Chain A
Amino acid sequence: MGMTLGGIAAIGAGASLYAMKKSWDPLPSVISAGFTTVDLSPMDSGELRTVEWRGKPVYILKKSADMSKCADRDVQVGNDDYSVGVQICTHLGCIPSYIPANQVFKCACHGGEFDACGKNTFGPPPSPMEIPPFKIDGNKLVLGEEGPEYLRLVGKA
């Protein structure tokens, strides 16, 4: 009987823990604010834009004709190629700045470099900049949702 009572109390404790876990979850307002929509139509070729998505900087680079293309990382919208990535150095989390003249991202912290595709080309960064989940909606890019193009890129990379 003591064991049965203990078991029942344990069920109660488990249910309470479930409620506690749920209370720690991000609020619905945080989740619904986790999507950023970017209209790509006004962008010029060769232009870089940085938008905020879930508190992090995400760059969008519309590639000009003289930039190298990478099939495994570029996002095609219409007839244009875009490079999209979380603009955070994969070494220790600093934000690399884009230098248009050289078409590279250069990190001030430890000198890491990434090319226009977001791939690490020099210094300590161990991997290319991360591609955020996105969905293409006409001429718009919706960050935070996993569209088929995103899944294709991630599957390939």
Chain B
Amino acid sequence: MRDLKALIIVAIVTGIIYWGVEPLAHGIMHPPVKAAEYDYKDTPILPKGDVANGATLVQTNCVACHSIKSEGFEAPMSDLDSANSYGVVPPDLSTAGSMYHEGFLAGFLKDPVKATNLSHKFTDSKPYPMPGYSWMSDSDIADMVAYLRSIAKSDLSGKEIFIDACARCHSLKYDKVFSSTPQDIVSNYMGSTPPDVSMMIKSRGAKYLHTFINDPQKLLHGTAMPKVGLTQEAEKKVVDYMESIGDSKKEERESLGVKVIIFTIIMTIFAYLWKVKIWRDVH
């Protein structure tokens, strides 16, 4: 009985301390933010696009800077040259149509600064490297989006999405993915060095990453990282990919954990039986 009383007291004190230094403290240090939103409501609702017209528009307006390797348009400059000219390597457009949300793409084509939520960084005197196409009609924009969607393959892997959406600035060296824009140039362009993200799954956790990638300003006010605009599915693939590299032993850990705990419980039962047997003689 005394044992039980002592155990309860120890458990209560330990519990209070745990509650105070973990949930309470972390709740205060990291106040909750609104969850990620994937409907990109602030962008115009698109009319149904015409792929053929979109192809013409894209091929006249975009390929001067962007490559579309899947359609045979190679990059006009080397990564180094384009990084030097624009500050960051312009993305290849082969996969943009399936990994970015169509609403985001349309909004981005019209006004990249607004869509990426970077008005604190890019102004009229320091413009975004890509011009906005707000002078085009909504239907032309819709046609370009429709074209990009028509050429993009839909079953992209997490790594492919990471390379196209993130790796122009970020490296993930634990999977030997290195940023296509050289570090010093991208540091200069962003104002600070975009970190290697190999361990972000551990340092930030999946929930934070989803909210952050979806809209970085919510969690890191004033950051130079743009709103990425991935679809919910593409974003999940990216975060899963980051987990598969940064926490590669998760599955092994969890399956071994169950076995070890079951084993220890069995051992506890037998230890108890043995203790009772030994103490029978002395009590």
Contact = CB atoms under 8 A, between A and B. Distances in A.
Chains A and B touch (C-beta atoms under 8 A apart): yes
Contacts of B271: 5
A1 B271 CA distance: 9
A9 B267 contact: yes
Contacts of A11: 263
Interface of B is mostly: helix
Contacts of B270: 1, 4-5, 8
Nearest to B267: A8
B273 interface: yes
Contacts of B19: none
A12 B264 CA distance: 9
Contacts of A1: 270, 273-274, 277
B153 to A, nearest CB: 30
Interface residues of A, number: 9
Q: Which of B266, B270, B273 has the largest count of A CB atoms less than 10 A from its CB?
A: B270
Contacts, number: 23
Interface string A1-28: 1101100110110010000000000000
Contact of B274 (A2, A12, A15): A2
Contact of A12 (B263, B273, B278): B263
Q: Which of A2, A4, A5, A12 has the largest count of B CB atoms less than 10 A from its CB?
A: A5
A11 B266 CA distance: 12
B198 to A, nearest CB: 15
A49 B270 CA distance: 65
A58 to B, nearest CB: 27
Contacts of A4: 270, 274
A1 B267 CA distance: 11
A55 to B, nearest CB: 23
A14 to B, nearest CB: 11
A9 B266 CA distance: 10
A149 to B, nearest CB: 33
Nearest to B266: A8
Nearest to A7: B270
B20 to A, nearest CB: 34
A68 B135 CA distance: 81
A5 B273 CA distance: 9
B248 to A, nearest CB: 11
Contacts of B266: 8
Contacts of A2: 274, 277-278
Nearest to A9: B267
B263 A5 contact: no
A34 B19 CA distance: 51
A15 B267 CA distance: 14
21 contacts: A1-B270, A1-B273, A1-B274, A1-B277, A2-B274, A2-B277, A2-B278, A4-B270, A4-B274, A5-B267, A5-B270, A5-B271, A5-B273, A5-B274, A8-B263, A8-B266, A8-B267, A8-B270, A11-B263, A12-B263, A12-B267
Interface of A: 1-2, 4-5, 8-9, 11-12, 15
Interface of B: 263, 266-267, 270-271, 273-274, 277-278
* Among all A-B residue pairs, the 8 with the closest Cβ atoms: A1-B274, A5-B270, A5-B274, A8-B267, A1-B277, A1-B273, A2-B274, A4-B270
